[in-house]
């Protein structure tokens, strides 16, 4: 929920190498910070070998998801919506530059997710090294601006091998402004294989899960 007292924070926060760890089935929203931070799911300080799947994250100050340094993470079948400054962030340290020459290094795969926003950027942080993989995602922005993936256009992003099976289309949520991210029957996300997250709402009240 709202936290105006601290910085560099997240609704769910991890540290270090954690093989087998799964972040699943969470409803995270209204994450704020005093001056910087305020992510929904924050994999910090080398968080690695973690799977983030089947979560709904919305109304966050800086972004729905942030990976700081780690590798071999998987972000799959999540909804990230209404990030204020950005939707997804990836940051690296200077000492990690030597990893860029290692073709086996991959910070994370980002697949089968829905991103839905009205303001801010899509991506924040560092993306030029291309040691990650994006595909089968659905993007929709209420802005009139063309989608920008870091410094690249949609076409340039795909030319780099990213999101070649992804779409830019309205996912047709029932009432996203009210926090209802159920998908209508004719949603393009369903046709792309997105697994509905209605089960999240049955775990408890929206207020109790924040």
Residue 179 has pLDDT above 50, yes or no: yes
Measured CA distances, 175 to 81, 117, 147, 172, 184 (Å): 12, 13, 23, 9, 10
Give mean pLDDT, residues 96-109: 72
Lowest mean pLDDT among 23-37, 45-59, 72-86, 116-130: 23-37
Residue 204 has pLDDT above 50, yes or no: no
Give mean pLDDT, residues 167-183: 95
For position 194, what pLDDT does the model report?
98
For position 34, what pLDDT does the model report?
76
C-beta separation of 151 from 159 below 8 A? no
For position 38, what pLDDT does the model report?
85
For position 98, what pLDDT does the model report?
55
Lowest mean pLDDT among 102-106, 107-111, 118-122, 142-146: 102-106
Q: How confident is the model at residue 207 (pLDDT cuts 50, 70, 90)?
A: very low
For position 18, what pLDDT does the model report?
95
**pTM exceeding the 0.85 threshold for the entire prediction:** yes
Name the average pLDDT for the chain: 89
């Amino acid at each position: 929920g709202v936290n105006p007292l601290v910085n560099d924070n997240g609704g769910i926060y991890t540290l270090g190498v954690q093989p087998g760890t799964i972040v699943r089935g969470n409803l995270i929203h209204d994450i704020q910070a005093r001056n910087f931070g305020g992510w929904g799911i924050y994999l910090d300080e080398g968080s690695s070998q973690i799977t983030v799947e089947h979560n709904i994250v919305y109304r966050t100050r800086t972004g729905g998801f942030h990976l700081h340094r780690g590798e071999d993470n998987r972000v799959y079948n999540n909804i990230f919506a209404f990030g204020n400054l950005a939707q997804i962030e990836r940051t690296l340290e200077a000492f990690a530059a030597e990893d860029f020459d290692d073709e086996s290094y991959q910070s994370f795969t980002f697949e089968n997710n829905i991103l839905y926003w009205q303001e801010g950027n899509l991506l924040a942080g560092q993306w030029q090294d291309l040691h990650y993989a994006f595909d089968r995602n659905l993007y929709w922005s209420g802005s009139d601006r063309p989608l920008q993936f870091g410094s690249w256009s949609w076409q340039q992003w795909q030319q780099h091998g990213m999101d070649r099976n992804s779409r830019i289309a309205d996912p047709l949520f029932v009432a996203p402004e009210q926090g209802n991210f159920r998908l209508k029957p004719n949603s393009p996300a369903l046709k792309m294989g997105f697994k509905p997250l209605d089960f999240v709402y049955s775990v408890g009240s929206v207020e109790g899960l924040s």
